[in-house]
Amino acid sequence: MAGGGDELKLLGMWASPFVLRVKLALSFKGLSYEYVEEDLRNKSDLLLSSNPVHKKVPVLIHNGKPVCESQIIVQYLDEVYSAAGPSFLPVDPYERAMARFWASFIDEKFLASWIKAGRGKTDEEKAEGLKLTFAAIETLEGAFKECSKGKPFFGGDSVGYLDIALGALVAWMHTAEVRHGLRLFDASRSPLLEKWVERFGKLDEVVAVLPDIDRLVEHAKVREAEVAAAAAGN
């Protein structure tokens, strides 16, 4: 629990994997906080003033001071609450640098190509996005083997920074499987990551904050229909 007069407030949107990343970090640290759901079509004055550069969620407000961007927030929580829960980042400077490198890879390569596969304007763009997604998964399979050193998580025996970075996408992976029959991590392509997803998803700290998959499926359908309608209007 946050103590010593600490006040934590998280501005978010329930379906955002980036917001879930922060919720996971807070859950593993065992920290209490106030959650404020934002309407991203009508952003609050608090969000706009707390993140005037990007105007996006998540924003963590700690004792009145805002911290923005999900990966930065997770690192901040790990430093400020180093005595609470597991340490997310390794002690060794080189291993810390590698964890940050792979976290960037997750967002800039894996997630970016997966989004391209889903939102490409043509079938060719979508196919290229899917090809790049599977290539990124192959690379992440190797990264897990290297980082975990034969243990259950990227962080070894306990959940670490990369488990949280990638784990925030697990709910949307399940959603993609329900909607499109697309299983991103499977035994033939990424057996280590397939087992990792199963282990990670069963952790109490994850179950406590993971969004409902059926609700995500419906949200994705609505969002897809809105995008299609907007494109047709152009």
Q: What is the pLDDT of residues 184-207, one digit of tens each?
A: 999 999 999 999 999 999 999 999
Give the C-alpha separation, 192 to 199, whole Å: 11
Bridge-based pairing state of the strands 8-12 and 34-37: parallel
Give the containing element (helix H, strand E) for 11. Answer: strand 8-12
Residue 124 and residue 184: Cα distance in Å, rounded?
Answer: 19
Element (H, E) at 205: helix 204-207
Q: In this predicted model, which residue has the larger pLDDT, 121 or 15? A: 15
Where does the pLDDT of residue 3 fall: very low under 50, low under 70, confident under 90, or very high at 90 and above? very low
Q: At the topology level of CATH, where does 8-81 sit?
A: Glutaredoxin (3.40.30)
Residues linked to residue 36 through DSSP beta bridges, in sequence order: 11
Q: Please give the span between the terminal C-alpha atoms of the chain, in angstroms, as a whole number.
A: 50
Residue 227 binned pLDDT confidence (cut-offs 50, 70, 90): confident
* Residue with the two structure tokens 């407030």: 9
The yes or no reply on domain 93-216 and CATH 1.20.1050.10 is yes
Q: Cβ of 56: how many Cβ atoms within 10 Å?
A: 19
* CA separation for the pair 201, 170 (Å, rounded): 8
* pTM summary value: 0.94
Residue 48: pLDDT band by 50, 70, 90 thresholds? Answer: very high
Per mean pLDDT, which range of 86-95, 148-157, 219-228 is the poorest? 219-228
Domain boundaries, the chain: 8-81, 93-216
The H or E element spanning position 118 is helix 112-119
Helix, coil or strand: residue 79: helix
Q: Is the peptide bond prior to 58 cis by the omega test (within 30 degrees of 0)?
A: yes
Query: What are the φ and ψ backbone dihedral angles of 219, each rounded to 5 degrees?
Result: -60, -40
